[in-house]
Amino acid sequence: MSVSAGQGVHPTITVLHGDDQPQLSGLEHVRLAHDAATLAAALPGTEVLLVWDFLSDAVHDAWPAADAGLRWVHTASAGVDRLSFPGLAGSAVTVTNSRGVFDTPIAEYVLGLVLAMAKDLPTTLALQARREWRHRDAEQVAGATAVVVGGGPIGRAVARLLRAVGMHVELVGRAAAPGRHGFDELPVLLPRAGWLVLAAPLTEQTRGMVDAAALAALPAGARVINVARGALVDEAALVAAVRLGRLGGAALDVVATEPLLPSSPLWELPGVIISPHMSGDTHGWRAALVDAFIANLDRYRAGQPLHNVVDKRLGYVTDGPDGSI
Amino acid sequence: MSVSAGQGVHPTITVLHGDDQPQLSGLEHVRLAHDAATLAAALPGTEVLLVWDFLSDAVHDAWPAADAGLRWVHTASAGVDRLSFPGLAGSAVTVTNSRGVFDTPIAEYVLGLVLAMAKDLPTTLALQARREWRHRDAEQVAGATAVVVGGGPIGRAVARLLRAVGMHVELVGRAAAPGRHGFDELPVLLPRAGWLVLAAPLTEQTRGMVDAAALAALPAGARVINVARGALVDEAALVAAVRLGRLGGAALDVVATEPLLPSSPLWELPGVIISPHMSGDTHGWRAALVDAFIANLDRYRAGQPLHNVVDKRLGYVTDGPDGSI
C-alpha cells in the first residue's frame, strides 16, 4: 500500500502524546494533542498523525473529526490494537507501526524473566531484604520447552534467544508456516509448555486466548509470560490458576488496564512478577522510534511506499524485511 | 596421575558432610564426619574421603590424622580452595573435583544476573511490593562487553552463553591461549568491561584480584558478578566503589565468609544482589554430584586413572575433556 498522490512536502503533523513527547526538532507544522478533545481540535487540516501515546483511545474517540484530510497514521509501537476500529479500518487512511524497534529488547526481557523465575531470583531478593542466607535449588532452563505465541519479528526474536540458551521452542503464529505452528495446534502444544510466552498482536483472534481452558491445558507448574497486550489473558482465570497452585508463576509486562490498578490482586500474587510495560524500552528507544517515523516521513514526502504498513483488517504488518507473520 | 596399586575393592569411605548428606545407598564401609574432630576420628583406616561440605576447613584442621592410609580425596565442588594447603599438596593423596557438573547451571545463573541488572528487575520487584507502576528505560545487553575471568569449563560456558545473546566477551585465564587472554592482560581489558564476571578458581594468584585498583580500572557504571569464591574480591573495596557510585552494581553469589554475616553492609547496598552460593545448584545437582563420585569410585576400584585429578600446586584440574584451562 502506498500514499502516493497529493501529500504535501511539509504536511501538517499532529502528535498524540501522553506523559512525554517525542523530540521532533526540525519538523514544521507540528500540532500537539493529548486526548480526544484536543485531538479532535487539531485534526482538521492534519495530513499525518503520529500516535506517540499508543495506549490512548483518543484516535477512536475523536475519529469522526479525524476523517477529513488525514492520510497517514503512524504509531510508536508494534501493536496497533488501539487503532483497530471500524472507522479507521474502513477509511482510506494508511496505518504504519514501529515494527523492528522492539525485537531484541523484548527478546532479552523475556529471557531475563525466564531466568529470573528459573533461578528463583524474586525469593533471593526477598531473603536479602531480611538479611537471610537460605540456599535453594534452582532450575536449569536448557532442555525446557517454551511455546512462543506470536509469529512476527518479536516472537521470532524471542524464539531465537530462548533457543540460544538451549531451550526447546515451539513458535506459534496465526497460520502454520515453515518453522511455525498455527494457533489451531495450541491444544496439542500447551500440555508441553513449561513456559508459555505471549508475543502476539492483540486481535479478535488473540483476545482472551489464554483463558481458563488454556491455562488448564498447561502442565503443572508452568509459567506464563506476557509481553504482548494484557487482553490476550483472562486475568481472573490467571489469578485463579495461580491461587490453585496450577501455575508455577507468571510474569506480566502488560495487563488489561494500564497502569495496573492499585486494587488488583495481581500485585501480591505469589510467584507473579508485574512490570510496567517496559520490555521493549531500552535506552535510546524514543530516539529509535523517532528515527523510524522520520524515515517513513521522508518516504511520504517523496511519494514512496511507506514501510511497515499495517493490514488494518488483520491488525498487524503482514510483510516486511523479516518475512510475513 | 592415577591411583593404581593397593586400593581395596571395597575401600573404606569417609564422608565429610554439612547440613545435608549425599545419598550413597549401596556403598559399604561408609563413615560420616561433620567437623575436624569427627573427621580426625574417622580417618584412620579410611582410603577415600568424599568432601561433600566443600566449604568446610575440617580436612585442613584434621590433616595430621588424615595422612595415614588416605589415598584419594574427592570434593563435591569445582573449587578445591579448601583443599589447597601444604599438608595435602605435599602428600601422595590424589585430589579430584566435580568439574563439569556446574558449567551450564552457573552459566545460566550469570546470564540471569546480567539480564536482571540490565532490565532493572530488582527495582521492578520493589515497586511491585508497593503496588507502584513506574516505567523506566532498561539496557540492551546485545553489544555490551563482558570480561569473564576463568578459563576453565565454567568460564567457557559463561562466555558461550553471554555470546549467544550478542554480548562481546573477553575470556581471561591464567595464561593466554587461543581465544583467551592471560591475567597479565587484565589492565588493558578492565577499562572495557561493562560487565566483569568472576568464574576462576581461588588460588594464590586470584585471591583478592578484584581490589580497589581493579575496580577503579573498570568503566563508570560497570557491574561485577562473582560466582567463583568470595575471596577473589576485596569486599571492603567493593563496598566503597558501590557507595561512591563508581560501580553500577554487583551480584555476589559467593562472599568471603559464608553464610554472609547479618551485620555485613553488602546486604543493603544499593544495586547489589546477594544470593546464597546457589548458582550451580539446579534440581538434581546432588544426584549428579553423587553420580560423578560413583563413576570415579568405579574407576578407583578397577585401578583405572581417576577423572578430574586436581593439580594440587595450581589448585585446579589442568586437563580434561574440555581442554586445558
Confirm whether A71 is a catalytic residue: no
pLDDT of residue B65: 67
pLDDT > 50? residue B145 = yes
Residue A8 within a domain: no
B270 with B176, same domain: the answer is yes
Q: Does B122 map to a domain? A: yes
Q: SS3 for B48?
A: strand
Query: Domain range spanning residue B150?
Result: 103-274
B186 in any annotated domain? yes
Instruction: For residue A134, give the amino acid letter.
Output: R
- Report the CATH number that the domain containing residue A42 is assigned in CATH: 3.40.50.720
Put simply, whether A20 touches B (Cβ < 8 Å) is no
Residue whose C-alpha cell reads 532490565 in the numeric block: B119
CB-closest option in A108, A131, A164 to B140: A108
In the set A71, A229, A235, A307, the catalytic residue is A229
Interface test with A, best of B104, B124, B255 (most A CBs within 10 A): B124
How many domains does chain A divide into? 2
Give a yes or no: residue A6 inside a domain.
no
Give the pLDDT score at B323: 38
Residue A124 lies in a domain: yes
Identify from B135, B255, B283, B286 which residue to disrupt to test chain A contact, counting A C-beta atoms within 10 A and taking the largest count: B135
pLDDT of residue B4: 42
CB contact under 8 Å between B112 and A119, yes or no, is yes
The residue from A82, A156, A181, A277 that is catalytic is A277
Residues B107 and B185 in one domain: yes
Instruction: Kindly report the nearest CA distance between residue B257 and chain A, in angstroms.
Output: 12
Residue in A105, A121, A124 nearest the CB of B140 = A105
pLDDT for position B8: 63
In a domain, A4, yes or no: no
Positions of E strands within chain A: 13-16, 30-33, 48-51, 72-75, 94-96, 145-149, 168-173, 181-182, 195-198, 222-226, 247-252, 272-274, 310-311, 316-317
Distance, first Cα to last Cα, chain A: 17
Residues B97 and B107 in one domain: no
Query: What is the percent of chain B where pLDDT is above 90?
Result: 91
pLDDT in tens, chain A (325 residues): 444 434 568 899 999 999 889 999 889 899 999 999 999 999 999 999 999 999 999 999 998 766 678 999 999 999 999 999 999 999 999 999 999 999 999 999 999 999 999 999 999 999 999 999 999 999 999 999 999 999 999 999 999 999 999 999 999 999 999 999 999 999 999 999 999 999 999 999 999 999 999 999 999 999 999 999 999 999 999 999 999 999 999 999 999 999 999 999 999 999 999 999 999 999 999 999 999 999 999 999 999 999 999 999 999 998 544 433 3
Let me know whether A86 and A142 are in one domain. Answer: no
Interface membership of A227 toward B (CB under 8 Å)? no
CA dihedral A212, A213, A215, A220 (to 10 degrees): 120
User: Do A309 and A317 meet the contact criterion of CB atoms below 8 Å apart?
Assistant: yes
Q: Mutation test of the interface with chain B: which of A123, A169, A273, A278, choosing the one with the most B Cβ atoms within 10 A?
A: A278
Same domain, yes or no: A114 and A186: yes
Is B122 in the same domain as B205?
yes
Mean pLDDT of B217-242: 98
Query: Do A132 and A265 belong to one domain?
Result: yes
Identify whether A322 is part of a domain.
Answer: no
Which chain B residue lies closest to A262 (C-alpha atoms)? Answer: B131
B231-244, pLDDT tens digit by residue?
999 999 999 999 99
- In a domain, residue B297? The reply is yes
Q: What are phi and psi of B76, to 5 degrees?
A: -85, 50
Residues B215 and B118 in one domain: yes
Residues from chain A that touch B109, judged by Cβ atoms under 8 A, are 115, 119, 138
Read out DSSP for B156-205? HHHHHHHHHTT-EEEEEESS-BTTBEEGGGHHHHGGG-SEEEE-----TT
Q: Are residues A268 and A120 in the same domain?
A: yes
Same domain, A220 and A157: yes
Residues 109-168 of A with CB under 8 A from B: 109, 111-112, 115-116, 118-119, 121-122, 124-125, 127-128, 131, 133-142, 161, 164-166
DSSP class of residue B28? S
Query: What's the pLDDT tens digit per position in B156-189?
Result: 999 999 999 999 999 999 999 999 999 999 999 9
DSSP B194-242: SEEEE-----TTTTT-B-HHHHHHSPTTEEEEE-S-GGGB-HHHHHHHH
- Alpha-helical runs (H) found in B25-168: 36-42, 58-61, 63-66, 86-89, 103-118, 121-129, 153-164
Q: Are residues A135 and A197 in the same domain?
A: yes
Pair (B125, B255) in one structural domain: yes
